[in-house]
């Protein structure tokens, strides 16, 4: 397979672009594999890659019902950060950010990771104190984090709404400089190509429609391309987790599926060189500018449960209002597109990565709306769990029984209501 480099771009330019190979094969499914991962999103593809690269397990299939990156992986606002505070999240997301920092080299694929800073606006002394605690915790655990004064913020992002009469005046900001954005479909394609190079079969248009069991083991998966057996099976299907769980006759999960929308405007000249987050009094809004110039933004969930990958109009209004309140200069910009994904929202806002009641079935779920940044570490630790059949200490509390043990990993402090965990 062609190794991507400046030289290969130059050489193929001279030869009329005739020397490129397919990025990954399109194999027919085999009857059986050592590991079958259901879900060709970022988490499923990353798991397959790390199974092969970290553990030497290459007889692996990734089954995807549609096309790679057609789920949340290709629908998100691509914010990558590690400003988590609680044990169970802190080390996991920091490791993920470290993996992002070398991902393009590791995969030999430019995922366009841009460490452009993540700025959270603060609007009250109480919010500033809480944020200082979070960012100090990050600094004490070898991450980066800064608390900026209003003057510093004005110097860096002069066109935010600093009007003294604003409904929620900005008083300060927290900043993580190593945070930023990446190109979502490049991440899917990069992991797919690198996994394929190591022998993984990536099988698109292959929907799992049933789970065969023999007592406490999964014996095979019924798919639209025939029955496929796996010695070990991993579910990484994001908002569809409860559907797969039901197919395995495992009852209910502490997960609800909700919808989240994102938006992009017509392209503008360079305007915003950071990710900016605005959250106060029920408003929740995050915005950045894509490399093509579009302003990319999103807000809260649609507030009702659904498996449909389409949104509704009230969040459009909410997001437009938030956009204008922090960046009034966007007032006459036209919205180009908006779309929705399906989020697997958990009761405490944190993920599940664990063994299940079935001996050879493993679960990767509950990413709420923060799973893009988690993709590398999710693949890393899920591959480790499947290969070694025990959780690494970093993820040991992310099991389905944590609530019975009194462990809530509730970063937002929102309580057991999935729709409140942003
Ligand atoms: C609008 C929006 C904005 C977001 N913004 C951010 C952000 O800025 N930062 C961040 O960190 N996170 C963000 N997220 C969250 C992030 O996108 C998700 O948490 C993450 O992508 C989920 O993991 P995934 O990529 O594996 O999921 P997906 O890409 O959804 O992968 C799951 C795959 O499973 C497949 N599948 C489902 N059922 C079956 C079946 N029966 N058989 C075979 N295949 C099946 C689906 O087709 C899908 O491709 C956002 C999400 C949305 C929707």
Q: Mean per-residue pLDDT for 187-199?
A: 98
The rounded Å distance from CA 238 to ligand 1 centre is 5
pLDDT digits (tens, 9 = 90+) for 172-181: 999 999 999 9
Half-sphere exposure of 43 (CA within 13 A, CB side): 28
- Asked whether residue 358 carries a pLDDT value surpassing 80, the answer given is yes
Contact 84, 241 (CB under 8 A): no
Q: Which residues contact 242 (CB under 8 A, 6 or more apart)?
A: 252, 253, 255, 257, 344
- Asked whether residue 1 carries a pLDDT value surpassing 80, the answer given is no
With bands split at pLDDT 50, 70 and 90, how would you rate the model's confidence at 282? confident
Q: What is the pLDDT of residue 268?
A: 97
The rounded Å distance from CA 85 to ligand 1 centre is 24
CA distances from 161 to 145, 279, 327, 329 (A): 23, 14, 6, 9
Q: Is residue 190 lining ligand 1, measured as CB closer than 6 Å?
A: no
Q: Is residue 79 lining ligand 1, measured as CB closer than 6 Å?
A: yes
What is the percentage of the chain residues whose pLDDT exceeds 70?
100
Q: Which residues contact 383 (CB under 8 A, 6 or more apart)?
A: 46, 47, 48, 49, 50, 51, 54, 55, 57
- Report the distance separating Cα 333 and Cα 29, nearest Å: 47
Q: Mean per-residue pLDDT for 387-403?
A: 97
Q: Is residue 208 lining ligand 1, measured as CB closer than 6 Å?
A: yes
- Report the distance separating Cα 277 and Cα 266, nearest Å: 20
The rounded Å distance from CA 346 to ligand 1 centre is 14
Question: Judging by beta carbons within 10 Å of its beta carbon (0-12, 13-18, 19+), is residue 201 exposed, middle or buried?
Answer: buried
The rounded Å distance from CA 365 to ligand 1 centre is 10
- Asked whether residue 164 carries a pLDDT value surpassing 90, the answer given is no
Instruction: Cite the beta strand spans of 247-313 per DSSP E.
Output: 255-265, 275-280, 283-289, 295-305
Distance of CA 343 to the CA centre of its chain: 10
pLDDT digits (tens, 9 = 90+) for 60-117: 999 999 999 899 999 999 999 999 999 999 999 999 999 999 999 999 999 999 999 9
Q: Is residue 73 lining ligand 1, measured as CB closer than 6 Å?
A: yes
Buried b / exposed e over 239-276, threshold 16 CB at 10 Å, is: bbbbebbebbebeebbbbbbbbbbbbbeeeeeebebbb
The rounded Å distance from CA 361 to ligand 1 centre is 20
Q: Is residue 187 lining ligand 1, measured as CB closer than 6 Å?
A: no
With bands split at pLDDT 50, 70 and 90, how would you rate the model's confidence at 421? confident
- Report the distance separating Cα 278 and Cα 323, nearest Å: 9
Q: Is residue 192 lining ligand 1, measured as CB closer than 6 Å?
A: no
With bands split at pLDDT 50, 70 and 90, how would you rate the model's confidence at 283? confident
Among 230, 297, 301, which residue's Cα sits nearest to residue 33? 230
Looking at the DSSP bridge assignments, the partners of residue 208 are 223
Contact 202, 24 (CB under 8 A): yes
User: How many Cβ atoms from other residues are within 10 Å of residue 10's Cβ?
Assistant: 9
Q: Is residue 373 lining ligand 1, measured as CB closer than 6 Å?
A: yes
> Residue 262: phi, psi to the nearest 5?
-135, 165
- Asked whether residue 152 carries a pLDDT value surpassing 90, the answer given is yes
Q: What is the pLDDT of residue 30?
A: 98
Q: What is the pLDDT of residue 165?
A: 86
Contact 228, 211 (CB under 8 A): no
* pTM (two decimals): 0.97
Among 368, 369, 364, which residue's Cα sits nearest to residue 386? 364
Q: Mean per-residue pLDDT for 224-236?
A: 98
More confident residue, 134 or 420: 134
Instruction: Cite the beta strand spans of 139-181 per DSSP E.
Output: 146-149, 172-176, 180-181
Choosing from 41, 61, 179 the residue with most ligand 1 atoms within 8 A of its CB, the one to mutate for a pocket test is: 41
Q: Is residue 421 lining ligand 1, measured as CB closer than 6 Å?
A: no
Contact 134, 146 (CB under 8 A): no
Looking at the DSSP bridge assignments, the partners of residue 33 are 230
- Report the distance separating Cα 190 and Cα 23, nearest Å: 9
- Asked whether residue 330 carries a pLDDT value surpassing 80, the answer given is yes
Q: What is the pLDDT of residue 273?
A: 97
pLDDT digits (tens, 9 = 90+) for 341-351: 999 999 999 99
Alpha-helix residue ranges (DSSP H) falling in 56-107:
90-101, 103-107
Task: Report the range of poorest mean pLDDT among 163-167, 208-212, 230-234, 379-383.
Answer: 163-167
Q: Which residues contact 266 (CB under 8 A, 6 or more apart)?
A: 294, 333, 334, 335, 336
Q: Mean per-residue pLDDT for 203-222?
A: 97
pLDDT digits (tens, 9 = 90+) for 32-60: 999 999 999 999 999 999 999 999 999 99
- Asked whether residue 212 carries a pLDDT value surpassing 90, the answer given is yes
Residue 70 CA: which ligand 1 atom is closest? 49
Contact 324, 330 (CB under 8 A): yes
Q: Mean per-residue pLDDT for 326-339?
A: 95
Contact 343, 301 (CB under 8 A): yes
Half-sphere exposure of 198 (CA within 13 A, CB side): 23
Contact 261, 298 (CB under 8 A): yes
Q: Which residues contact 146 (CB under 8 A, 6 or more apart)?
A: 135, 174, 175, 176, 177
Question: What average pLDDT does the structure give for the chain?
Answer: 96
Q: What is the pLDDT of residue 17?
A: 93
Residue 74 CA: which ligand 1 atom is closest? 29
């Amino acid at each position: 397979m062609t190794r991507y480099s400046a030289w290969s771009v130059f050489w193929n330019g001279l030869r009329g672009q005739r020397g490129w190979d397919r990025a990954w094969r399109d194999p027919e499914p085999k009857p059986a594999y050592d590991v079958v991962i259901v879900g060709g999103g970022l988490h499923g593809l990353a798991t397959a890659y790390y199974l092969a690269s970290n553990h030497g397990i290459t007889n692996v299939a990734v089954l995807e019902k549609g096309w790679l990156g057609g789920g949340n992986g290709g629908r998100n606002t691509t914010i990558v950060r590690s400003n988590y505070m609680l044990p169970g999240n802190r080390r996991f997301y920091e490791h993920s950010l470290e993996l992002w920092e070398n991902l393009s080299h590791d995969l030999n694929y430019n995922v366009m990771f841009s460490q452009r800073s993540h700025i959270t606006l603060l609007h009250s002394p109480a919010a500033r104190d809480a944020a200082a605690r979070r960012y100090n915790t990050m600094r004490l655990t070898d991450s980066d984090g800064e608390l900026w004064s209003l003057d510093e913020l004005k110097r860096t992002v002069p066109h935010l709404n600093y009007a003294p009469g604003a409904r929620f005046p900005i008083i300060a900001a927290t900043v993580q400089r190593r945070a930023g954005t990446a190109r979502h479909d490049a991440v899917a394609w990069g992991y797919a190509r690198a996994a394929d190079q190591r022998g993984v079969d990536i099988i698109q248009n292959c929907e799992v429609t049933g789970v065969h069991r023999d007592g406490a083991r999964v014996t095979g998966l019924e798919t639209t391309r025939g029955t496929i057996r796996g010695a070990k099976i991993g579910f990484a299907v994001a908002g569809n987790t409860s559907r797969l769980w039901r197919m395995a006759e495992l009852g209910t999960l502490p997960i609800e599926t909700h919808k989240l929308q994102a938006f992009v405007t017509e392209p503008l000249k360079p305007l915003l060189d950071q990710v900016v987050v605005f959250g106060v009094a029920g408003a929740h809004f995050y915005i950045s500018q894509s490399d093509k110039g579009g302003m990319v933004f999103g807000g809260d969930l649609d507030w009702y449960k659904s498996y449909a990958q389409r949104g509704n109009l009230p969040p459009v209004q909410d997001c437009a209002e938030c956009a204008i309140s922090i960046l009034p200069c966007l007032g006459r910009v036209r919205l180009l597109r908006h779309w929705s994904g399906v989020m697997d929202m958990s009761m405490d806002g944190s993920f599940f990565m664990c063994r299940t009641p079935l001996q050879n079935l493993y679960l990767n779920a509950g990413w709420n709306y923060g799973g893009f940044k988690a993709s590398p570490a999710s693949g890393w630790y899920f591959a480790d769990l499947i290969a070694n059949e025990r959780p690494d200490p970093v993820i040991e509390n992310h099991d389905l029984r944590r609530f019975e043990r009194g462990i809530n990993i509730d970063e937002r402090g929102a309580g057991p209501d999935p729709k409140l965990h942003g």
